[in-house]
Amino acid sequence: MKIENPNPLQWRFSERASQMQSSFIREILKVTQQPEIISFAGGLPSPATFPVEMMKQAFDKVLSNNGKVALQYGPTDGYMPLRQWIADSLSTNGARIVPEQVLMVSGSQQALDLLGKVLIDEGSRVLVETPSYLGALQAFSVYRPEFKSVDTDEHGLIPSSLDKVAQGARLLYALPNFQNPTGRTLSAERRLELVETCARLGLPLIEDDPYGALSYKGEPMPKMVAMNPEGVIYMGSFSKVLTPGIRLGYVVAPLPLVRRLELAKQAADLHTAQLTQMVVHEVIKDGFLDQHIPTIRELYGNQCQAMLQAMDEHFPAGVTWTKPEGGMFIWVTLPKHINAMELLDEAIKQKVAFVPGAPFYANEPETNTLRLSFVTVAPDRIRTGIEILGKLLSARV
């Protein structure tokens, strides 16, 4: 029975809901779904790297051998064999990680939300790089912090700049490897200086590391969590080395914090999907990533070089860009008078898309910057798209 003539509802949204904003990148992706668009916009891994057959075999094996467990509710902290694998992979001679420090999450974006929920009050000071990962700014913004930008240069975050902004800060959020959006990598010397500085200041350091395995040279940089396991919170993900569709990430933290995160996760979704955790463990437990990741590095490295070579050929003087040694992104700085948002409007008319840089800044956005992602575009289309952008830029320089 349907109610006749109900009064219209008067929605009263929370103040928190009124602060929420759509991700600029997600909005651009709606445009780039058109096949004729050459998209350098999304930070999406290449579908060519997805191990479809391995995943299919693992699903079949898990469901055949242990289906009733895989399809049941699971523990909030996650599937123990997978947590043990993660703990072992992060442990070094000087720093032993135990599985009790590992919390499985529904993609590392959930880890950011949980960390914000547990560590940030309204008005809390949160330190971020300049620029920083848009997804982190979006996740933390829900809790209404006071963002303070930490100085950076062409080599990334400058540890010595922390003292002037660290007073009362709840955390520092950093991506040391092939950073999103700039592609920069923090040197081993700066990593040690950063960890020592945060330890001296009593400042929790979040080390977000979704791209660390994607070094084109195959040489991993030291992890900061190994330098101070009691002061560094490590975030990892299977999105860039297996597939993002499974939405599986993890956070490694000191025990007092990880227990709080577990309580926050219980309230959010009870637990991460047991089936996908068991499948991922089945795929990786015998060393599959050791053979798989080098193929991703080779693909991305070749496409990065194709883009860098095309930029050298087609971009005019006065435009500069980073030269990443891994990961998925190149950061471009234009002459001051060029607005990347206006350039995007013209580029889309020419069937090319990118992400303007301004949304990646917590404070004082630089409108003459943009991010290019090369991993989902074939080299010939990379060259075509960069040539189009070069002509648009040359007309404005």
pLDDT in tens, 228-260: 999 999 999 999 999 999 999 999 999 999 999
CB 177 within 8 A of CB 156: no
Q: Which residue has the higher pLDDT, 16 or 320?
A: 320
Which of 384, 383, 329, 312 is CA-nearest to residue 351?
384
pLDDT at 173: 98
In this model, does residue 153 exceed pLDDT 90?
yes
In this model, does residue 197 exceed pLDDT 70?
yes
Q: Is 363 exposed, middle or buried (0-12, 13-18, 19+ CB in 10 A)?
A: exposed
Measured distance CA(234)–CA(225) in Å, rounded: 6
29 falls in which pLDDT band (50, 70, 90)? low
In this model, does residue 277 exceed pLDDT 80?
yes
Query: What is the percent of the chain where pLDDT is above 70?
Result: 96
> Residue 30 gets which letter from DSSP?
H
The SS3 call for residue 356 is strand
In this model, does residue 371 exceed pLDDT 70?
yes
Over residues 96-108, mean pLDDT: 96
Which of 332, 319, 309 is CA-nearest to residue 397?
319
93 falls in which pLDDT band (50, 70, 90)? confident
Round the average pLDDT of the chain to a whole number and report it: 94
pLDDT at 32: 65
In this model, does residue 143 exceed pLDDT 90?
yes
- Residue 341 neighbours by CB distance under 10 Å: 13
In this model, does residue 288 exceed pLDDT 80?
yes
Tokens of 292: 């798989």
In this model, does residue 52 exceed pLDDT 90?
yes
- Residue 281 neighbours by CB distance under 10 Å: 19
397 falls in which pLDDT band (50, 70, 90)? confident
C-alpha distance from residue 181 to each of 39, 69, 135, 261, 355 (Å): 16, 40, 11, 27, 10
Over residues 210-214, mean pLDDT: 96
pLDDT digits (tens, 9 = 90+) for 325-349: 999 999 999 999 999 999 999 999 9
pLDDT at 35: 80
315 falls in which pLDDT band (50, 70, 90)? very high
pTM equals 0.94
Over residues 85-89, mean pLDDT: 97
